[in-house]
Amino acid sequence: MKPDTTTMLRLENVSRSYSGRQVLQNISFSVNAGEFVAVVGPSGCGKTTLLRLLGGHETHDTGTLERCAHTRTIYQQGGLLPWKTALENVAMGLLHIEKSNGKRITLANEMLGSVGMDGYQESYPHQLSGGMRQRVELARALVSGSEILLMDEPFSALDFLTRLKMRSELIRLLKDKEQTVIFVTHDVEEAAQLATRIILLTRRPAAIACEITLPEMERPRSLSHPVVIDTAEKMLNVLGMHV
Amino acid sequence: MLPDKNSAQTAWKNCIPPVLVFLAALGAWQILMSQHVLPPSMFPTPRQVAKGFGEEMHSGRLYTDIIASLWRVVVGFTLSVLVALPAGIALGQSSLLRSAFMPALNFLRCLSPLAWIGFAILWFGVGDNSAIFLIFLSLVFPIALSVSTAVLSIPPLYYRVAKELGLSQWEKLNQVILPAIMPGLITTLRVAMGVGWLVVVAAEMTAGNSGLGFAIYDDRNALRQDLLVVHMIVIGIIGLLLDRMLAGIASMPSVQWGYQQTNL
Ligand SMILES: Nc1ncnc2c1ncn2[C@@H]1O[C@H](COP(=O)(O)OP(=O)(O)OP(=O)(O)O)[C@@H](O)[C@H]1O
Ligand SMILES: [Mg+2]
């Protein structure tokens, strides 16, 4: 490990069970500042559970977990507060970070603009499409400048074209920022397009099947790039789905 | 322009069926009376009721009765909400409190408020306070139960969001718990107001010396069927208006999410 990298998250032999049924089994990995780590695993293996542990919303049974900064989560089911407008939701992201209410509104407005949601400030979540809600939630997570972003299948409910678009926008928004991202997905191509490193989980109880470090290059990598195709195929092989 | 005209048109259209139903009922009543299907000794005619209405308006008694009943129901309702809302939120958040208080709450909820009338008169005498006490007792337990259930069913996801955004206990209450239960709370309050309006009439009949319930009691003793019907109509209309007022809160934009089929 290079001396100039800071560890943001470190897990050592972390396990978690629900009423006697093991979900996470001896998970160990660490994440450095600025990394974009994709966590990929079959449905129901324990990915959301892992993120809940990383975010400090639940405790693990055994092992050690260190978190060196605040986290912000983008939730699989959508975490916007339905009784607040898009602008209010994003401004909530700055509560206790920015003291002045006026400043919070200004910053939230700017952030909404940069995720392409100008003109929807006063809309409530139920008045927005799924993709728009994801943009607002992304804005709320990013506006705080939190060092660690935990994203739980943020784009999986979107149609294919919107998903592709959101991938490049996410990378654009993260550019020039030192934010660390843990990105859960079940989509091997998505992981290969976005991540600097991929952690593959086995079926429940989830253990780490393998880690793949991807070559540094302009992201999102194109779907047809050989690195993406090779990596995706490799992941499918490990997951036991030969194509 | 166009949507305005349309909504005015639909509002107008929505008015027609109930007005027709009302006119048909009035016509049927008149026919039943004039054909002697309902003998005049059993039920008053529309004309008699209209005359009785004029009489009550003229003497001013109708206003004082309405004010008396409204005052009692509004005070009783407000007091019960002030107690039941915090109690329900506390119950919804603590399983210890629930296991301690739920059996007692359910026991009290099952007691008809009219069973308390003996004590109400003993403690508060005949008048405002007895009726307010009975309304309070009949509303506070069901509202508390309903609020605690609503708090219990808030998705844990919202608590996670609150924690992550660093909300204080007070902010969590104000910005998460209260708005999350608001759509259900509005319905609970509408039902409660309806029950309160039923109870005030019953309470005034047995422990009152004024109000619409007492007026009904008085009409019965004086064998004034025409006034009985006048007061029944007034009670029904005011109940309807109270419900409309509370239903109006449901049009606030920040509770609309609770009444929408979201495209989830
Ligand atoms: N609160 C809980 N209580 C009991 N069991 C739970 C709880 N949360 C998760 N589980 C169980 O843990 C396992 C993993 O759930 P988790 O939501 O972490 O999976 P996931 O990998 O995120 O799945 P998906 O890809 O479908 O989102 C499941 O079998 C689930 O039943
Ligand atoms: Mg999940």
Give the minimum alpha-carbon distance from A242 to chain B in angstroms, rounded to a whole number.
33
Query: Are the beta carbons of B157 and A73 separated by less than 8 Å?
Result: no
- H or E element, residue A87: helix A86-92
Q: Which of A55, A78, A125 sits opposite B257 (nearest CB)?
A: A125
Query: Are the beta carbons of B160 and A57 separated by less than 8 Å?
Result: yes
- Residues, CB-to-ion distance under 5 Å, ligand 2: A 48, 76
Query: Are the beta carbons of B161 and A93 separated by less than 8 Å?
Result: no
Using 50, 70 and 90 to split pLDDT, how confident is the model at A92? very high
Quote the ipTM score. 0.90
Q: ∠ CA B45-B47-B51 to the nearest 5 degrees?
A: 120
**Reported pTM:** 0.87
Q: What is the pLDDT of residues B99-157, one digit of tens each?
A: 999 999 999 999 988 899 999 999 999 989 999 999 999 999 999 999 999 999 999 99
Long-range contacts of B89-97 (CB under 8 A, 24+ apart): B89/B147, B89/B148, B89/B151, B89/B173, B89/B177, B91/B144, B91/B147, B91/B148, B91/B151, B92/B147, B92/B148, B92/B149, B92/B150, B92/B151, B92/B152, B93/B151
Rounded to the nearest angstrom, the distance between the alpha carbon of B32 and the centre of ligand 2 is 67
Query: Are the beta carbons of B163 and A96 separated by less than 8 Å?
Result: no
Q: What is the pLDDT of residues A103-129, one digit of tens each?
A: 999 999 999 999 999 999 999 999 999
Q: Which of A75, A95, A126 sits opposite B165 (nearest CB)?
A: A95
Give the minimum alpha-carbon distance from B146 to chain A in angstroms, rounded to a whole number.
20
Let me know: does B219 contact B227? Beta carbons within 8 Å. yes
Separation CA A38–CA A225 (nearest Å): 18
Q: Which of B163, B165, B171 sits opposite A57 (nearest CB)?
A: B163
Q: What is the pLDDT of residues B41-52, one digit of tens each?
A: 889 999 999 999
| Contact residues on chain A for B161, CB-CB shorter than 8 A | 75, 79, 81
